[in-house]
A and B are shown apart, each in its own frame.
Chain A
Amino acid sequence: MLAIAIAASAWIGEVSIARLVRGLPLAADYIAGTLPRLRMDHFSADLAHWMWGFEDWALLLADTLLIAYVGTVLGGLVALLLSFPAAATLAPPWIVTIIRRVLELMRTVPTLVLALIFVYAFGLGAFAGMLAIAVHSAGSLGKLFAEEHENASLTQMEAVRAAGGTWAAQMRFGIFPQSLPGVLSYGLLRFEINVREASVLGIVGAGGIGEELYLAVRQFEYQDISAILVLILVTVAAIDLLCGRLRRSILGAAT
């Protein structure tokens, strides 16, 4: 059955072994063509030549991080509000079902499609991209937060209820303190993902470094492509490292 599925996909995808064999060297040549010439004897001059747009690119990268940050925070806040009524142990079943469907819809529409639509509604620029990231993050974080709340023990919540607390107070003081480490850890993980996603939003005009990269690819500025990619990689790696540290210390402090 696997063989049939592969054959059918290959036919639809217009792929043949011949094309793969022909295509791969082309791709390899292209990638090799983007690599800069860094010679040991004038290394710094070559490096400066390669990274000629560093100041602009660094600014765009900062914008990209900002898009990811604001999108994660706003999306995370919406997710937090929606996650309590989406937890099966905390709300009546019909409310849980409705909220869960809404969250599902928010996270199934691809971020880039949302960005295309928001660019049309809110105009070109980072704001549209941030909104797209916020909506998608709200959908995926809402589900994860709700699962964290479901894992929390109910005794503290019952204590707050016995003291006469409203539903909101029960959530705030009975459940949230227990799920906080999980919520923060998932939020940080989402931020890492969003930095990657924000780096491509520029392709549809939604701000960040993607636009510059798109131009470089379109205009066959080979060396710029590799320079921007290296900068993106370094940024992503730095963010991953930082968030990983923070996550471990949060989870470590919780246990």
Chain B
Amino acid sequence: MTKLRLTTPLLFALLFLVLLGGLWRMDASSDRILNGIMKLGWLVALMWPPSAGGVLPELLVSLMESLAMAFLGTFLAALVALPLALLGAGNIVGNILLRFSVRRLYDGLRGIDTLIWALIFVSAVGMGPFAGILALAVPDIGVLSKLFSEALESADKRQVEAVRAAGANRVLAVRIGLIPQVAPIMLSQILYTLESNARSSTVLGIVGAGGIGLALSDRIRINNWDEVAFIILLILVMVAAIDLGSRKLRMKIIRAA
């Protein structure tokens, strides 16, 4: 107990020092902060009233593009994640080496941010929503595979044994005994991913991977702050709508299960 009493303040002091050092390294001088806050206030004043700048249909089309990217990215990720998850689930694949390497693959895909994947895919397949879809899908493959395989591992194995006892082979046992048990969990995880992708897809345009982000970063570059505010509001409305729809669907799935 005395040891704890001594180390806790020391730890706090150390963490606080790192905080101060960090602020110093970022040149967080009071001048800079004051200046910035004044500029920020000025920006917010310029943002009012939000305006579509006369190109509302164009903005709506790029918003739909973002949404479509999120949807297809999630769909693609789920499609690839299912077989990968089967390989990584301890109760399906007995080989520890294979399971270990598949799991490190999930980690690798997850560890790199969507935007970095977008940069890479824009260079690889060219600008546009296609690069965005791939960029959304790849890290999600990692996330969904991990979640799916954890869901599979926590499933009840008696049903699988029953199907096996009835003379089915292993593939059929997984298909009939295991997948139906975890399908509702998987669906709701896919919906979560869709919500997160609806957010991510709005910024991919900043690096040229399609969607509303391009319009947004352009408006910031040319200082049309009223249009910036309008686009941010559009994004907020879309995100809220997707969240609401997805929450309703999730509730329905949970109740049905």
- List chain A residues, Cβ under 8 A from B199: 108, 110
Interface residues of A in 167-217 (CB under 8 A from B): 196-197, 199-200, 203-204, 207, 210, 213-214, 217
* A214 CB to nearest chain B CB (Å): 7
- Asked if A225 is an interface residue, CB under 8 A from chain B, the answer is yes
| A interface, CB within 8 angstroms of B | 5-6, 8-10, 12-15, 19-20, 23, 26-27, 29-31, 63, 66-67, 69-70, 73, 105, 108-110, 112-113, 116-118, 120-123, 125-127, 130, 196-197, 199-200, 203-204, 207, 210, 213-214, 217, 220, 225, 229, 232-233, 236-237
CB <8 Å contact, B206 and A31: no
- Asked if B182 is an interface residue, CB under 8 A from chain A, the answer is no
* A109 CB to nearest chain B CB (Å): 6
Specify the chain B residue showing the minimal Cβ separation from A77: B19
CB <8 Å contact, B72 and A14: no
CB <8 Å contact, B120 and A30: yes
> Which of B111, B217, B220 meets A232, CB within 8 Å?
B111
- List chain A residues, Cβ under 8 A from B58: none
> Which of A5, A196, A220 meets B111, CB within 8 Å?
A196
CB <8 Å contact, B112 and A233: yes
CB <8 Å contact, B25 and A19: no
CB <8 Å contact, A229 and B206: no
CB <8 Å contact, A214 and B119: yes
9 A-B pairs with the lowest CB-CB distances in the bound complex, closest first: A30-B124, A122-B36, A9-B68, A12-B68, A70-B22, A127-B26, A13-B68, A200-B115, A121-B39
Q: How far is the CA of A130 from the CA of B107 in the complex (A)?
A: 25
| Residues of A contacting B: mostly | helix
CB <8 Å contact, B32 and A200: no
CB <8 Å contact, B120 and A117: no
Q: How far is the CA of A35 from the CA of B65 in the complex (A)?
A: 32
CB <8 Å contact, B22 and A23: no
- Asked if B43 is an interface residue, CB under 8 A from chain A, the answer is yes
Among listed B93-101, B129-137, B173-181, interface-contacting one? B129-137
Q: How far is the CA of A173 from the CA of B73 in the complex (A)?
A: 47
- List chain A residues, Cβ under 8 A from B32: 122-123, 127
Q: How far is the CA of A26 from the CA of B126 in the complex (A)?
A: 10
CB <8 Å contact, A110 and B22: no
Most chain-A Cβ atoms within 10 A of its Cβ — which of B124, B128, B199? Answer: B124
CB <8 Å contact, B43 and A117: yes
- List chain B residues, Cβ under 8 A from A214: 119
CB <8 Å contact, A126 and B125: no
| B interface, CB within 8 angstroms of A | 15, 18-19, 21-23, 25-28, 32-33, 35-37, 39-40, 43, 61, 64-65, 67-69, 71-72, 75, 107-108, 111-113, 115-116, 119-121, 123-125, 128-130, 132-134, 199-200, 202-203, 206-207, 210, 213, 216-217, 220, 228, 232, 235-236, 239-240
Q: How far is the CA of A232 from the CA of B112 in the complex (A)?
A: 8
Specify the chain A residue showing the minimal Cβ separation from B47: A117
> Which of A6, A113, A210 meets B75, CB within 8 Å?
A6
CB <8 Å contact, B134 and A204: no
CB <8 Å contact, B68 and A23: no
CB <8 Å contact, A63 and B25: yes
Known interface pairs A9-B72, A31-B120; A126-B112 also in contact (CB < 8 Å): no
Q: How far is the CA of A67 from the CA of B75 in the complex (A)?
A: 33
Q: How far is the CA of A126 from the CA of B56 in the complex (A)?
A: 34
Q: 25 A-B contacts, Cβ less than 8 Å apart?
A: A10-B72, A13-B68, A15-B129, A26-B124, A27-B124, A70-B22, A73-B15, A108-B240, A110-B199, A117-B40, A117-B43, A118-B36, A118-B40, A120-B220, A122-B33, A122-B35, A123-B36, A125-B26, A125-B27, A127-B27, A130-B26, A197-B113, A203-B115, A203-B119, A210-B116
* A106 CB to nearest chain B CB (Å): 11
Q: How far is the CA of A109 from the CA of B239 in the complex (A)?
A: 10
- List chain A residues, Cβ under 8 A from B15: 73
- List chain B residues, Cβ under 8 A from A73: 15, 19
Q: How far is the CA of A19 from the CA of B131 in the complex (A)?
A: 11
